[in-house]
Structure 1
C-alpha cells in the first residue's frame, strides 16, 4: 500500500512539474467594468495596461457584461491603463502603482465620440487600506516606504515587525516556526525548523537592495496562500526596465557609533565592526523585450561581547563584569594543559565573526503580449559564530553573562550556503482565461564547525546551592556532526477562468523535500561539575587511577553532577546521518464571486496531502516494549498520508460604493507544515543509529577515556516517535474589520482576529508511567500537590521515549485600532503617518522552542509534564502601541531630505518561574513550574549548606520578593503559569535621516549621492537614562528563584525543602528586574553612503 502511495505521489508530482511551484502570489492584477454614460456594459472594449518604464504591455477584451481582468502584472509604479472601443473616446488612467498580491479595481466610463473629444485622462487614486481584494489582516511595504524606515540591521524583520499584530517574528501569538517566507515564489523560510530565517546561521539571506516590495499576511482567505498557520511573508525582487540603472553602497557600524554610558555607568568598549557593501545594475538587453537585474552584497561583521571576567574572587560582580574570575580561569587553563595537553582557548572573547556573500539575479522576458517569463537566482555563502548553547546547562546557562564566561573552544560556527533557482511564466490565454506557472529548486547546505577539537564539553559550576554555571570548555555538545542538507523541488500552478461575476481559480501548490540531517548530543562527551574543587578532586582521582591501573571508583573523589556520552551504533562506527524525504501535494479551487459591484465574496477549498517517502529501519527490541496507556511503537513507520481539508470564505463590502466605508473579513482553516527537524528526530533517534550512556552523580573516570560500552545486548537510547494519528499543524482563523476613509484622507481601521488550534503540535514522554499508577506515581506533600514519580520509567531498556502528537487546546485573540494617512498634496505632500494599538493574548500547550524532540519536551515548564497544560505563548503580548512616520522634502532640483521615525511601546519577552532542580522526579531539572506560597506554612524552608540565615529570615525575604513582583503577588497560593512573567514595557524610538545630492543631466539622466543615518534607541542617544531596557536578575527564560535544598523522598513525606537563590554577588535578591547593559539598552547608529544613477 505504501509503495502504491509513493508511486501515485511521484506520478502526480511529475505531471504537475510539467505545468506548475510552491509560491505565494508574486504579481499584481487589475479588474473592473467598462460602461457607457448610461451605465450599460461595453462589450468587446480593449483594456490595455502599459508599464511605462519597461514598455511591458498587457491587454484583454471586456466580456459581455463589460467586465475585464488582467492577472500576472509586474508590481511597481508608472502604469498607464486605457480603455478603448470603436465609437467611443479612449479613456486613460495614469500614475498607477500596483502592489504585491493586489487586485486593483479600475472602472471606466466611455463617452460616445460624436464629437472629437480626444483622449480623456484621469489620475489614479489607490488606497492600500480601502481595497476590494483585501479581506484579512495584512501590511504592504513598498521600496519607497522601506527607504524611510529605520533599519539598523537591514533585514526583512525590521519591516515585518511593523505589522500591528506581530511580536518579533511571531504573528498573532503564533510561533515563527509556522510562518511561510517567500521571495519571488521561492521558499525562504527555514522549513526544517533550525532557525527563524532561511538556513541556520541567522544571516539575512537576501539584500534589501534587491527587494521591490514586502507583503505580510496573517489571515488571507485566498486559498492560493498556504503552507502556514502563523504569517505569510511574501517579497518580490526588483526587475530591470528600459533605463540603465545602478547603485553602489556602503553601510557601517563601529565602536564610535554605539553608546557606552548608561545611567552614569561606563560599559566595556569592544573593538567590533559591521560593514555591508554592494552594488546593483539593471537595464535592457532588448528594449521593451528582455531585461536584467543583478545585486551583489557582502557582509563583514565582528559582533561585540561586553562581558569580562572579574579580576579575582573578591572583586565585585557589577556592570559588565561576570562572577567568573581571571584567577580561576587561568587555573583551569593550566590544569587542562598539564593533564590533557589540551588548550581550551581564550576566555577574552571580545567579539565573534560573521560573514555573508549574497547574489540576486533576475531576467524578465516579454515573449509577447500574452506571455511573460522571468528567471530568478539566489546565492548565499555565510557563517556566524555562536556562544555555547544554554541547553542542558546548569542555572543561568553557559554564558557569557553575569554568572559565567566560557572559553572559545566551546563556541561554534554555523555555516549556511544555498543556491535557489526559480522560473515563472504568466500567460493570458484569452479575455476569460489566464495561467500562472512557477517551478523552482533550492539547494541548501548547513553545517557546524568547532575550534574545540574532539574533546568533551565540560561545564563547571560556582559551587553554590543554585548550581550556577561558572565556565565551559570543550566541543559544544550539540555541534559535532551537526549538519543539514536540504534539496527542495517546488511547483505551483494557478489557472483562472473569468465568467462574468465569477472568477474561478484551480491550482496546485506542491513540493518534494529531501533532508539529510546529522545530530547527536554529547557525541564527544559531556560533563558537569558543581565546582572547580570537585573537578580538581576528581581529576586527581583519575590521575591516581590511571597511574595505578585500578578502578577509579575505588579512589576517593567527588561524583560529577551529570555525564553523557553518545556513540554511533553503525557497523563501521562512523557518525550516521538521518535521511527524511517528504512530499506535500496541495490542490485547491476557488470562486471570487462579485455578487454586486460593491460586494465580493471569496469561497475556496484547499486540500493538502503530506506523504512520507522514507523507509526507516525497524527496532524489534523497542517494538516489543509497552509504553504509556499500553501503547506499542514502531520507529520504522511514519504516519500514513492524511488529507488536510481547508475550507475558507472571505468577503469585502464597499458599503456605499464610494470607497469610504469598507467592511471585510472571513473565516477558514489554514494548514501549515511542521518543522521537519521534528519529523527527522524519529529517523535519527530510533535506537539504531545512536545509543548513549547517561548518569547523574557519576564517578569521573577520565575525560579522554570515554568509549562505547561493550557487551550490551540492548544499548540504551533516546527514542523519538510520531503518533500514527499525527496531523500537520492546522488552525481556524476568523477576522472581522471595518475601514473608514475620512474626507481629509485619514483612514481608520478596527480589526479583530481569532485563532483556534485544530492540530497544534506538542511532545510527551510515553516512557513515563500513567498518573493513576499508584505504585509509580504519588503526590508531593504540603500545599504543592503536583504528581511525583516514585519510579519515572516504564522500561529500563530505553531513556526517554518522546511522542510527537497533536493538541487542540491553544488559541489567540487580538484586536487592532489603526489610523493612517499618506499625504499626496499640499504643504504636507510626502508625509506618511501610521499609528496602531493592538491588544489581546495567545495561549498554547507548548512553544516548541527546540529542534530536538526531547528538548522540546523537557524545556516546557509544566506542573504535569505529560498533560496538555495551557500556558501563555512565548509570542503572546497583552498590548502594543506602534507609531510610524516619514517625510520627504525636495529642496529644489538638486537636494532632497527624508526622515523616518518608529516609536514602539511593547513587552520585550515573557518568562516562566521554575525550580532549579527536579522537583517531580521526571529526570529533568528546570522544567517544573513554581508554586507560590501564600503563607509560611505552605512551604518547607531549609537553608542551604553554608547559609547562615534562619528559616524565618528566608521566609521574610521570600514573602517580600513575592509581594514586590507584579505577577507573583497575583499567584499567591497558586502555581505560576508557563510564560506568565512579563518583562517591563519598553518605550523605543528609532530614527532615520537621509539626504540626497542630485545631479541632473541635459539628457534626462541623473546621478545621486545619498548620505544616511539610522539610529536604534534614539531616546538613549538623547539621554543616557532613557531607552534602558530591564532584564531579570536571574535567567530570562526561566526564573529560578526558589532552589531545592532537600529532594522529595518517602522519609520527608515527599515534601521538598527550599531556600532562595542569590544573585551573582551572592547577595539576597530583592527585585525581579535590573537594568540591562546589553546593546538593546544603548543607542546604535549606522552610517550609509549610496551612489545611484538612472
Structure 2
C-alpha cells in the first residue's frame, strides 16, 4: 500500500513545487475542461453531476452531462490545475486531477463510472510536467517565459515594472529610460514601439502595475496564434489577481537608502545616491462563496535623486563629461551677468518622483454558462526637476504631471461546445508639464583642456527647455470578441474572433516654440554672437485619431499526443482620422496630397507546431521540437499623423525660422524673460540666403503601411538527466514596411564636394556657409525655397535579425534552481539620414546618419543589436527559513557611430558621419594633434574603430562599447517562530554587486567600470568654421570621443543594499494550492500526517500485493489469470513484505514533512522532499524489475498496464476517442 504512495507524492509535488511548471502557468487565459462520462458498459451517462474545483483558488464550477454524456466547463483564470469529481445515481463516484496541457488551455477529463459503490480513487490526468526552470509553452510553436510571483518574489527585481520582468527573458534587449522616457525592450531587432503590453487580454498603455495585483506575467518572444496581434516584436501578457474562496493578500514595503549605498566617491554628485520607498498592498476574497469575488491592490512609491547638473558637478565629474571647472565657472558667471540665474528658490535641489497606481477587480459567476469580470485601474505620477541634463543648469528643466485610468468588462460564456469571450476596455490619460523658465533655449559649444592634456568638446545648455511646455490627452477604447468551437474529442479548437480599437489624442507640445540660440564658444556667448537661431512658429495643438480592426480565423489542433498544431489567418485594417487641410501647391510641386492619410487592409498567415519525442509509454517526453512561421503587423506610430496635421505648408500651418551669420538676432535675455512676446519671430535683415522663414510639410506616401515582420523559429528542448534540460532556439525576423522619411525638397545634386573628406557631397553652395562658424543656411539646399523640409513619410525600409539561444535549466540535488542562457544575435537594418527603421520612424531617429545623400537608405548594424548576451537566474532554498537568489547578466556593448557636431552636407540636420583623419597624413596640424592625443588616451576599442577607418567617412555603427556585466543578489528570510509561521519574508538585496567588487579589488582610482552603464561620447568632430578657398570645414577633435571606461564615465551607479519586508495576509496562493491538493480536516485545511498516509495508501496498493490479490480474485476459467506456482507465490509474498517495511519508513518521513505546518513554501519543501522522492522512484523501478523476473514472459504479458506501468500518465488526444483520458480499465 505504501509503495504507490511514493508514486502519488511524486505526481502531486511535480505539479506543485516546480516554479516554472504549473505555478508558472497561472493566469495564462481561460481554461476549458471537457470530457465524456461513460458507464461500465461503455454507454454515455446523462445527467451526471460534474464538479470542477480550482486547486489554486478553491473556486468550484458545476455542470451536468448531456444525453451523450459530454460536458464542458469554462474556468476564467482558473490556474491550470483542477480536481474534477463525477457523481451519478446508481454509479460509484470518481475523481480525477487535471493539470495544464502543454499545447493550450484545454483539459480532457474522460471518466468511466462503476456500478457499485467503491472507495473514491484519485486518478491524475495530465501531460508531462516541466523540469525545473523549463518554460511551459501553452501554444504550439511558442517561445516564451512565464514569470509567476512564486519565482519573481524571490529575485532581486522590481516586479511592478513589466519591462524589468521582460529583461529576464533570453534574447530580450533592455532599452533604458530616463526622466522623460519610459524604459522598454526590444525583441528580434524590432523597435521598442512595436511591442505589445496586455493586461487581462487587452492592450494596456502603462508598463507598471501594483505588484501585489499581478497574478502572472508571460513574456512572449515568438507566437503563431492568430489571436495575438498589433506587434512585430514581443508581447508582455499579464493577468491581474482575482479573489477566491479564501481571503488572501499581502503588504510589501521596500526601502533604498543613501546610507546603504557605497560609492567610489561619496561627494560625487553624479553618483545617484537616491532614496526610494515603495509600498505595495493587495487583498481580496469572496463576497459570496463560489459566486462573487473581489481583489484590490494599491502601490505608492517616492524616489528622490540628487539633481545632476553643472551646479553640483565636482571637478572629477566635469573631467568625465569632457569639460573642466574653469569653463563651467566662466559659463555660470556669464549666465549671472545676463540675468539668467542658474537656479531659483522654487527649483528643488532633488529630482523627486512620486507614483501611485491602483487596481480593483470583481468576478461574478452568473451560473453554469456565464462569468463576468469588472476591473478598474488608476495611476498618477508627479515629477519635479525633470529634463535637467548633466551639462545644463537647473533652470532649463521643469515639472511634469501624469494621470490616467480605465475600466474593463469581460464576459465569458459557454453553450455546449461553443465558448465566447467578450472583452472591452476604455482608458483616459493626461500629461502636462511646464518649464521653470519661459525663454529661448541656449547652447554653448565649449572646448576644454582636461587634466590629462587632452581636449574635450561639450555643449553646455541653459535657458528654456525646447520640449516644454506640454499638454496631452489620450483616450483609448478597445473591444474584442472570440467564439471558439470544440470538437467532441477535443482535438480541434476552431477560433473566430475580432478586435477593434480607437485612439484619440490631443497634443499641445510645440517643439522649440520659444526658439534656440547656438553659440560656437564661450567668447561668442560673452559677446552675444550666436551662430544660429531657430524657432518653430504658428504651431497648434495636434489631433490624431487611429482606428484599428482585426478579424482572425484559426485552429488549434491536437492531432495526437505527440503533435500539436496551430494555424490560421489574421485580417487587419487601419484608418487614420483628422486629416489636415489640402495644399494644392504641394500637390503641384511634389504630386502628393496633404489632406490624405493612407489606410490599409492586410492579411497575415501563421502556422506553428510542437512535437514531443517520446520513448515508451512512461514518463515525460525525451525531447520537444517546436517552430513556426508567420507574418506580424504592428501599429504605425500615431505621433506621425499628429505631426502631419500641423505641417501642411499652408500659411496657417507650422513654419520655422532658420537664421545664420549676420541674420541671427542679437539676444536680449532680460527682455525675453520679462515678456515672451519679445522673442524674435524673424531673422535680422532681408537676406534671402542666411535668414529666412520657411514652412515645413509632412506628407504621406500613398503606399504607406504599418510596420510588418516575417518571423520564423525552430527550437528543441532535450532532457539531459532527470533534473536538467537543454534547449536550443533559432529564430529569424525580416522586418518589412519599416517606417522612414525622406526630404523630397532637398536638392540632391551636390553644389560641391569636400576633397579632403573623401569627396563628401555638400548640397548647399559655399556662399550659403558662414566662414566664421561653419553654419549652413537651409535655403541653399532647397528645391523650392518657399518651403523648408518636406518630409515624405514612407514605409520602404527593412531589417534583418538572426538569433540563436542556448539554454540550460534544471535543479541540483540540493534544490538549487538554475536558468542559464546564451544568445547570439546578428541584427541589421536600413536607415536614412532623416529617419531609421530601427526606431519606428520618427523624424531624425536616433539611428539616423549619413555619409552623403540622406534620402538613400543604407544597411548597417542595428542600434538594437547586442551581439552576445548571457543571462543567469539562480534560486537556492538553503533552508525552509532561508534562501538565496541571483540575477546575473553579461552583455556585449552596443554599437555607435562617430558623428559630427554640426551640419556638414547642408541638408539642415545634424546627421553627418565624421571623416576619420589619419594624424600621420593630414596636413592640418590641429587635427593631427587632436587625433594623436585621442588615440594615445583612448581605449583599445575606440582606437581599433578609428584606425581601421582612417581616410574614410566612418561607417554606421562601426564602433562598439565595452561589455556590460551586472550582478544582483538577494537573501530571503522567512522565520517560523514568534507565531510568524513563514508569513513574513525579510529580504536583503545587494544591487550592482560588481561595482562593489570593482572598488574593493581595484580602488577608486583604477576602476574597470564593472556594473556601470556605458554611454560613450559619439561626437568625434565639432564644426568650427569653413574655408571658402579650399571648400573645407574647420574642425575641433573631441578627444573625449568614445570615453566609456570606469574612470571616464561621469554617471556612476553605486553598490547598494536594499531592504524589503513582505507580510502575507490570509493564505499565500502557492501555499493554498498546495493545501487544496493535500487538503484535509487539519487546521487551515491542511491534511494531518495520518490523513496523508490513509489517502495515499488507499489510492494505490503495493504492486506485489496487487498481483497476489488479483490472482486470488479471478475465477479459474478467466483467461487473464496468471496461474501462479507455489514458488512464485512465495517469492511475491516475501517481496511484498520486504517492500512494505521500506515503504513504511519512507511514507512516515514524507507524511511528516507534508503535514508539518511550518512547511508552507512548495519550493523549499521540494528541496527537503527531493531525496525521498528519488528513493521512492528507485523503489518502484526495482520492484517492477523483480516482479517481472518472478513471472514468465507469458504471465507478464497478462499483467494489466495499471500494475506494470505505474508511472504511465494518461494522455489526451490520441488513440480511441472513447479511451482518451480514462483511467485504465484492465
Q: What corresponds to 2:508 in structure 1?
A: 518
Alignment partner of 2:164: what SS?
Answer: helix
Q: CA deviation at 1:218?
A: 1.7
- 1:30-179 matches, cutoff 5 A: 30=32, 48-52=51-55, 54-58=57-61, 71-76=74-79, 79-82=82-85, 92-94=95-97, 96=99, 102-103=104-105, 110=112, 116=118, 118-122=120-124, 126-127=129-130, 129=135, 131=137, 133-151=139-157, 154-168=160-174, 169-179=185-195
- 1:655-670 matches, cutoff 5 A: 655-656=613-614, 658-670=620-632
440-449 or 1078-1087: which moved more? 1078-1087
Q: CA deviation at 1:1058?
A: 4.9
Distance in 2 between residues matched to 1:1033 and 1:696, nearest whole Å = 40
Alignment partner of 2:338: what SS?
Answer: helix
Alignment of 1:685 with 2:647, yes or no, is: yes
Q: CA deviation at 1:933?
A: 5.6
Q: CA deviation at 1:591?
A: 1.5
- 1:327-342 matches, cutoff 5 A: 327-337=329-339
1008-1017 or 835-844: which moved more? 1008-1017
Contact conserved, 2:211 with 2:299, CA < 8 A, in 1? Answer: no
Structure 1 residues 343, 654: CA separation in 2 closer, same or farther (over 3 Å shift)?
Answer: closer
Q: What corresponds to 1:18 in structure 2?
A: none
Q: What corresponds to 1:582 in structure 2?
A: 546
Q: CA deviation at 1:487?
A: 0.6
Alignment of 1:497 with 2:461, yes or no, is: no
Alignment of 1:943 with 2:926, yes or no, is: yes
Alignment of 1:906 with 2:891, yes or no, is: yes
Alignment of 1:781 with 2:721, yes or no, is: no
Contact conserved, 1:997 with 1:1009, CA < 8 A, in 2? Answer: yes
Contact conserved, 2:140 with 2:626, CA < 8 A, in 1? Answer: yes
TM-score (norm 1): 0.81
Q: CA deviation at 1:1043?
A: 4.0
Determine which structure has the larger helix proportion and give its number: 2
Q: What corresponds to 2:352 in structure 1?
A: 353
Contact conserved, 1:307 with 1:320, CA < 8 A, in 2? Answer: no
Q: What corresponds to 1:601 in structure 2?
A: 565
Q: CA deviation at 1:254?
A: 1.6
Q: What corresponds to 2:415 in structure 1?
A: 429
Q: What corresponds to 1:645 in structure 2?
A: 603
Contact conserved, 1:271 with 1:351, CA < 8 A, in 2? Answer: no
Q: What corresponds to 1:366 in structure 2?
A: 365
Distance in 1 between residues matched to 2:156 and 2:792, nearest whole Å = 44
Contact conserved, 1:310 with 1:317, CA < 8 A, in 2? Answer: no
Match of 1:276 among 268, 275, 278: 278
Structure 1 residues 525, 934: CA separation in 2 closer, same or farther (over 3 Å shift)?
Answer: closer
232-241 or 145-154: which moved more? 145-154
Q: CA deviation at 1:1091?
A: 2.4
Distance in 1 between residues matched to 2:699 and 2:420, nearest whole Å = 42
Distance in 1 between residues matched to 2:85 and 2:724, nearest whole Å = 29
Distance in 2 between residues matched to 1:662 and 1:97, nearest whole Å = 17
Structure 1 residues 853, 176: CA separation in 2 closer, same or farther (over 3 Å shift)?
Answer: closer
Q: CA deviation at 1:912?
A: 1.4
Distance in 2 between residues matched to 1:490 and 1:348, nearest whole Å = 41
Contact conserved, 1:289 with 1:365, CA < 8 A, in 2? Answer: yes
Contact conserved, 1:289 with 1:366, CA < 8 A, in 2? Answer: yes
Distance in 2 between residues matched to 1:242 and 1:67, nearest whole Å = 28
Q: What corresponds to 2:773 in structure 1?
A: none
Distance in 2 between residues matched to 1:1043 and 1:95, nearest whole Å = 68
Q: What corresponds to 1:947 in structure 2?
A: none
Q: What corresponds to 1:460 in structure 2?
A: 444
Q: What corresponds to 1:210 in structure 2?
A: 213
415-424 or 62-71: which moved more? 62-71
Alignment partner of 1:759: what SS?
Answer: strand
Q: CA deviation at 1:833?
A: 1.4
Q: CA deviation at 1:368?
A: 1.4
Distance in 2 between residues matched to 1:723 and 1:601, nearest whole Å = 39
Alignment partner of 2:517: what SS?
Answer: strand
Q: What corresponds to 2:592 in structure 1?
A: 633
Distance in 2 between residues matched to 1:322 and 1:693, nearest whole Å = 31
Alignment of 1:838 with 2:841, yes or no, is: no
Alignment partner of 2:427: what SS?
Answer: strand
509-518 or 1054-1063: which moved more? 1054-1063
Distance in 2 between residues matched to 1:39 and 1:986, nearest whole Å = 68
Q: What corresponds to 1:614 in structure 2?
A: 578
TM-score (norm 2): 0.73
Structure 1 residues 1010, 315: CA separation in 2 closer, same or farther (over 3 Å shift)?
Answer: closer
Contact conserved, 1:152 with 1:1015, CA < 8 A, in 2? Answer: no
Alignment partner of 2:897: what SS?
Answer: strand
Contact conserved, 1:941 with 1:955, CA < 8 A, in 2? Answer: no
Structure 1 residues 315, 837: CA separation in 2 closer, same or farther (over 3 Å shift)?
Answer: closer
Contact conserved, 2:324 with 2:448, CA < 8 A, in 1? Answer: no
Q: What corresponds to 2:324 in structure 1?
A: 323
Structure 1 residues 245, 130: CA separation in 2 closer, same or farther (over 3 Å shift)?
Answer: closer
Match of 1:561 among 525, 531, 544: 531
Q: What corresponds to 1:820 in structure 2?
A: 809
Q: CA deviation at 1:952?
A: 7.0
Contact conserved, 2:830 with 2:860, CA < 8 A, in 1? Answer: yes
Contact conserved, 2:387 with 2:398, CA < 8 A, in 1? Answer: yes
Q: What corresponds to 1:416 in structure 2?
A: 402
Q: CA deviation at 1:1071?
A: 6.8
Q: What corresponds to 1:1039 in structure 2?
A: 1018
Contact conserved, 2:56 with 2:78, CA < 8 A, in 1? Answer: no
Unaligned regions of 5+ residues in structure 1, if any? Answer: 1-23, 190-197, 199-203, 390-398, 539-557, 570-575, 945-950, 1064-1068
Q: CA deviation at 1:993?
A: 1.7
Distance in 1 between residues matched to 2:739 and 2:155, nearest whole Å = 36
What does the per-residue CA deviation read over 1:149-179, in whole Å, with 9 as the maximum and x for residues that have no partner? 1115852222210110101011122221111
Distance in 2 between residues matched to 1:1026 and 1:350, nearest whole Å = 34
Q: CA deviation at 1:354?
A: 0.5
Q: What corresponds to 1:187 in structure 2?
A: 203
Q: CA deviation at 1:349?
A: 7.1
Alignment partner of 1:376: what SS?
Answer: strand
Match of 1:1014 among 989, 1013, 1035: 989
Q: CA deviation at 1:914?
A: 1.3
Q: CA deviation at 1:52?
A: 4.4
- 1:658-1057 matches, cutoff 5 A: 658-687=620-649, 688-697=652-661, 698-703=664-669, 704=672, 705-709=678-682, 716-770=694-748, 773=749, 776-782=750-756, 784-790=758-764, 791-821=780-810, 828-829=814-815, 831-846=816-831, 847=836, 853-856=842-845, 859-860=848-849, 863-888=852-877, 891=880, 896-907=881-892, 909-925=894-910, 927-932=911-916, 936-937=920-921, 941-943=924-926, 951=928, 954=931, 965-972=943-950, 975-998=953-976, 1008-1024=983-999, 1030=1009, 1036=1015, 1039-1044=1018-1023, 1047=1026, 1051-1052=1029-1030, 1054-1056=1031-1033
Distance in 2 between residues matched to 1:668 and 1:72, nearest whole Å = 30
Q: CA deviation at 1:440?
A: 0.9
Distance in 1 between residues matched to 2:882 and 2:273, nearest whole Å = 32
Distance in 2 between residues matched to 1:290 and 1:464, nearest whole Å = 69
Structure 1 residues 31, 599: CA separation in 2 closer, same or farther (over 3 Å shift)?
Answer: farther
Alignment partner of 1:261: what SS?
Answer: coil
Distance in 2 between residues matched to 1:1070 and 1:497, nearest whole Å = 59
Distance in 2 between residues matched to 1:87 and 1:971, nearest whole Å = 88
Q: CA deviation at 1:236?
A: 0.8
Contact conserved, 1:910 with 1:983, CA < 8 A, in 2? Answer: yes
Q: CA deviation at 1:1046?
A: 5.4
Q: What corresponds to 1:15 in structure 2?
A: none
Structure 1 residues 960, 299: CA separation in 2 closer, same or farther (over 3 Å shift)?
Answer: closer
